[in-house]
Amino acid sequence: MFCTGIGVTAVAYWVIYSCVSFPLMCLAWVLYGIGDAARSSTMDLYFIAHLRSQPERLKRFYSINKAISPIASITAAALGYVLFPQVGVGVYVVSLSLLAFSVVFGLLTLPRTPVEVKRDVAVGGLPIAGVVKEFLGAVRDRELRVLACLACVSTVGLTAYFQLWQFVFDEYEVPDSSNALFFVYSQLITVVTAAISPRVRFRIAHWFSAIGILLVGAVAAIVGGCLPQIGLILVAPIVVWLIIQQVEFRIQTTVSTQIISSFMSAINALSSLVSFVVIGISAACVNIFPSGCVFAVCIGTMCVLLVYPVLKLSVGNREALYR
């Protein structure tokens, strides 16, 4: 499935490179989405299933896995910056070559997935009815519902960050040359928080400290103008990524391997819906209010919405997030 996803992504890139019509470009984006969905979390699930009984190795895998994508993004951005003036859209040929190599390499070296579907009767030895029952049981579990709620609410802050940081920079005439540095900074945040998160056990006090930092920063940004708003742009993603990765790691180590893919897909679908709403509202608001204030309001709203699920999470487990 992982190699299939890469292959479909390669087809999308080829359509973009070779075609200029708008309908085909739309088709390319559809194919890109299918490819991304096909490969998303596939290898994660394989290693989680095999390392769940070895917590230290699982933490190390999680940190390395979350660090690879940002490092690859920084490398690819640097290569694109160097190559694009030389070859133009020929950069897509380089991308296609790398994707083709990835498919061949994956087919030759990747292990078989531990979950197999046999004649639509069983999934990994567990009857389909059992999988559905287990999934519904996970949905009814109070802690998992709260974690799913935390993941969706955190999306408010993350979407606002990705949607609005450049608006804020443009509004205060930050030099365009700073955009590349900020891109590297944002990727490094992901690397650092991924390294920290599996090794840190968020106690309830930590949750409210994180919420408090963001809430104070949001109020200061609304009242104070330029410097507090840019400061919030720099600090908010660190805290938000820590929250998201705490929640994600907890889910990955709690939910059964038989249903984790479906459970994470459900959370991702809800998070996408939240992102869609945030994008629509923020896009309308930046035409009326300063973009820095809109971003601060989004962060403040996220903080307020986080309070209830964090309180629910603390019931019966007040000392720490992890049992």
- The CATH number covering residue 200 comes to 1.20.1250
Tokens of 158: 């993350």
> Is the pLDDT reported for residue 322 higher than 70?
no
Residues contacting residue 12 through CB under 8 Å, at least 6 positions apart: 28, 29, 31, 32, 35
Tell whether 96 and 146 lie within a shared domain.
Answer: no
Whether residue 319 is contained in a domain is answered as no
Taking only the tens place, the pLDDT of each residue in 67-122 is 677 777 777 777 777 777 777 767 778 778 888 888 888 777 766 655 444 433 34
Domain that holds residue 38: 2-114
Domain count of the fold of the chain: 2
Look at phi and psi of residue 54 and say left if phi exceeds 0, alpha if psi is from -120 to 50, else beta.
Answer: beta
Q: Are residues 58 and 167 in the same domain?
A: no
pTM: 0.68
- The amino acid at 133: K
Residue 80 covered by a domain: yes
Arithmetic mean of pLDDT, 192-219 = 82
- 19 with 102, same domain: the answer is yes
Instruction: Summarize pLDDT for 45-67 with one digit per residue, the tens.
Output: 666 666 666 666 766 776 676 66
